[in-house]
Chain A
């Protein structure tokens, strides 16, 4: 590298500050969006994983029971059977809310202090990782405090946040019940990692936790309560064989799973959601690349004579290439630093949107801290600097081709671009075909689908020059009506194709993404509305209050359903029992080791034991119906599975699936596949009778109530509220549930809307930069025109009509591209990400919006140069050149 050339390059950029600022802004915003999404998704995931790790401790395996948990007595029996080689610890792990403290959601971890030592160091043992202290006693936490009735232990940060001191009372709500508990102790985690891990966990003795979460004795077990799981750790040197022996001795209905498997299955729930967000963020970065390409290529074009001069002085091609790349790299570094700073700030805003969606749709999570991971830095650096350098490559190669002469007519470059337009268009068509091929490959890979989408975007960009030339030719007769200025406006767009085409392409892609995302959301929403109309057949829905998407642990009073059936005015009641099942990903149809779930890719699915009121059956749109009808099969014990589950596991009506029951693994026939947008991970509807035959659990999670036609729904609701068994439950009329569902839908897509807006801002900045560069570059032409007698107003209208024409070209390109992208999003990306299908609906609004945004963006972008050029004194420009 030649330092003096670098200095010259740096000064060039400092002299063109506006251009530099726009370039930096474009890349910085692109990086910022990627960082923000990464910060938001990883913070949420990290919060979940850390609290899970804190909870799991050093256990290698876990024992899971049925939906009603594991009876205390089973735990005691197991403990007696394996006293020496296997350590066991009972756990209750539930989310509770604290109505006395703004309904704050905490993870309640019920533990047995006497069984804890091999698993976790939190609670008062000598080699404690976390120093436990009480204001009154400076000693480690006394186990006695923990086992005191309804005593809770908080981490100091959590307690401080909620203004809690030892001895304070808190209300703890779970399902429909609320209890009063006492802050028994507050402890200080030793390091930041532990502090973060336990930020939203509250500890209690297992008995307290059972009481707070209303854990009754398991069916068929006398006395005692139930626990959620038992943690397992082999204490011998031969852990594998000890665990294997332990597994064979497990009673039927209990499953031994690797600890990582359950946490992994939960964390994986958001994978498709995260991937989609990341892809949107990458779109913003692609616009940033367009921008840097524009900016670098402009700086190269502007310096062509200079490079020619340097070549005449003996500077080699390689040295010029290196200079351009080093300059771009420096721009990339600065932009990346800005992008990381902006992205972190943006991420802390986005994290609330992301965690709310995760809570709505997947699992309960509270993000205590937003922290930048090293990997985020690395990603930002690679993307920011890499994208900038990659975008600088074409102009750098272009500069290499510059002959070593002081002046090369700009016209030569433009002629070359015009000549290459058909070749680029051919490349674009080839790219479109490649995209079609990629999207139609019968695969389930989301990455492949996004690759297809990005190739489609590339195709749009490649056909831009040819389309622009064609369009300007078509528009010329019309523009000619406005005289010389009109003719010059159309001519100007094609005369500077090397500058106008990338700007048009960037704007077109931004608009196309806007059209595609809007069409996808509109189509999806309309699918959801149609689905809600069909599936919400009941008049009233009754459920115990759950925390976020976690409803499996909350149950209704068992007397409620029979009571309701006897209420006058109620035509019928359907009952649901919702449970989570962990299915081994490997082979649900023929699972060789049904009572062992390994760490690799298990799936959490929802299963509903369903006892439908006759009218309720119409609520299901059965897509895959077996001979004889789905409901006949259902009545004979077969299960209905949702479309996403059927898609992901490639199973259909008549197939057999294996499910872990309380009586061991059992096979169930699939009665049919029904349309469902409630869960992307799959739902199984099982006849209540079948459920009761295979599981001990008799609980009910929610009810659907059908009101007689001659009775007012409001009156029935009022009647239900009076029932003692309905105290504390949520009662919602049909419309209320429908609205709540659509609210969740809209909240889910709020973040998509924010990202789309950010992408558009990046594109707008890019286009503004490109257009400004283009127009200011033409200062001399404008000077000549002014000398020839063009008025400032004519100059202004010439420039704004040129940019408006560019905006129009972008819109015209964006329409087919947007439709193609929306098709890919609806039929490929959504299908593969979430497994559901819906029809693409073409509505006019996104197109009108694109037209308005496209032309407004282009005109606004041209405004400043137009004003500046109109004001300029011709002699000054000519001399300056």
Chain B
């Protein structure tokens, strides 16, 4: 559906310095993700999965290496250009849902649409229906269960039809049955739209559904299938 979109990382490294010690989080990571491809990132806590997602989204800058999204080097883009890239092309799903507590369910889904200038609530309503929460438009996030909140977060991440979806342990905060249902929904919707997806996870369910599985260990990609 969406052709020509590609994420390309070469020699990406990142370290954090807490004043006394330097921690290498990513170490010369190379990664390519193509349109419609689903890549699962495995690795223990602190292995650099979230940092890698943040760097791909332009939320964090690498210390070394290059990141190209859709052929454009993020390092050469201004802060504003990176923000607009995210607004247009990237969707995010977080472990802790991160819905906006002061917006209703429908408004949360509409947010990325409004950011891109689309005021029509139709697509948001349709997505709400797709994630099985039709009728809860006016509810606030705090009135929903964890699974429901994550379904709304998925709807929000996909509302503006991004070409890349980044998911950071989207089932990490859900029980296994709910997690499985959420994952089903996520993969189905992403695949329908032909978007690329990078998903950081511990879940074996994700591994089963992914096109490619990469394992991060000590900041480097240790293995892949």
Alpha-carbon distance A285/B74, docked complex (angstroms): 47
Q: Is the CB of A12 within 8 A of B102?
A: yes
Q: Is the CB of A4 within 8 A of B111?
A: yes
Q: Mark A60-85, 1 if CB is under 8 A from B, else 0.
A: 00000000000000000000000000
**A506 CB to closest chain B CB, in angstroms?**
28
Does B217 sit within 8 A of A, measured CB to CB? no
Residue of A nearest to B113 (CB): A4
Alpha-carbon distance A15/B101, docked complex (angstroms): 10
User: 8 Å CB contacts to A: which residues of B104-130?
Assistant: 107, 110-112, 114-115
B80 contacts which chain A residues (CB < 8 A)?
A: 316-318
Q: Is the CB of B111 within 8 A of A312?
A: no
Residue of A nearest to B157 (CB): A313
B114 contacts which chain A residues (CB < 8 A)?
A: 2-4
Number of interface residues of A (CB under 8 A): 25
Q: Mark A290-318, 1 if CB is under 8 A from B, else 0.
A: 00000000000000011001111111111
Alpha-carbon distance A582/B101, docked complex (angstroms): 70
Q: Is the CB of B87 within 8 A of A314?
A: yes
User: 8 Å CB contacts to B: which residues of A439-456?
Assistant: none
Cβ contact of B115, chosen from A2, A12, A309, A405, cutoff 8 A: A2
Q: Is the CB of B103 within 8 A of A11?
A: yes
Does A8 sit within 8 A of B, measured CB to CB? yes
A405 contacts which chain B residues (CB < 8 A)?
A: 54, 59-60
A403 contacts which chain B residues (CB < 8 A)?
A: 59-60
Alpha-carbon distance A317/B80, docked complex (angstroms): 8
Segment among B32-40, B92-100, B179-187 that sits at the interface with chain A: B92-100
Does A7 sit within 8 A of B, measured CB to CB? yes
Q: Is the CB of B100 within 8 A of A309?
A: yes
Does A733 sit within 8 A of B, measured CB to CB? no
A4 contacts which chain B residues (CB < 8 A)?
A: 103, 107, 110-111, 114
Alpha-carbon distance A12/B112, docked complex (angstroms): 19
Does A854 sit within 8 A of B, measured CB to CB? no
Cβ contact of B86, chosen from A3, A11, A15, A313, cutoff 8 A: A313
Residue of A nearest to B80 (CB): A316
Cβ contact of B83, chosen from A3, A7, A309, A311, cutoff 8 A: A311
B79 contacts which chain A residues (CB < 8 A)?
A: 317
Q: Mark A316-327, 1 if CB is under 8 A from B, else 0.
A: 111000000000
Alpha-carbon distance A305/B100, docked complex (angstroms): 10
Alpha-carbon distance A507/B108, docked complex (angstroms): 40
Q: Is the CB of A312 within 8 A of B100?
A: no
Alpha-carbon distance A315/B83, docked complex (angstroms): 7
**B17 CB to closest chain A CB, in angstroms?**
14
A309 contacts which chain B residues (CB < 8 A)?
A: 98, 100
Residue of B nearest to A315 (CB): B115
Does B212 sit within 8 A of A, measured CB to CB? no
A8 contacts which chain B residues (CB < 8 A)?
A: 100, 102-103, 107
User: 8 Å CB contacts to A: which residues of B134-154?
Assistant: none
A12 contacts which chain B residues (CB < 8 A)?
A: 102
Does B200 sit within 8 A of A, measured CB to CB? no
Does B193 sit within 8 A of A, measured CB to CB? no
User: 8 Å CB contacts to B: which residues of A203-235?
Assistant: none
Cβ contact of B98, chosen from A2, A9, A11, A406, cutoff 8 A: A406
Residues of B within 8 A of A (CB): 54, 57, 59-60, 79-80, 83-88, 90, 92, 94, 96, 98, 100-103, 107, 110-112, 114-115, 156
The 9 closest A-B pairs by CB, nearest first: A314-B87, A11-B102, A314-B86, A8-B102, A12-B102, A316-B83, A4-B114, A404-B59, A309-B98
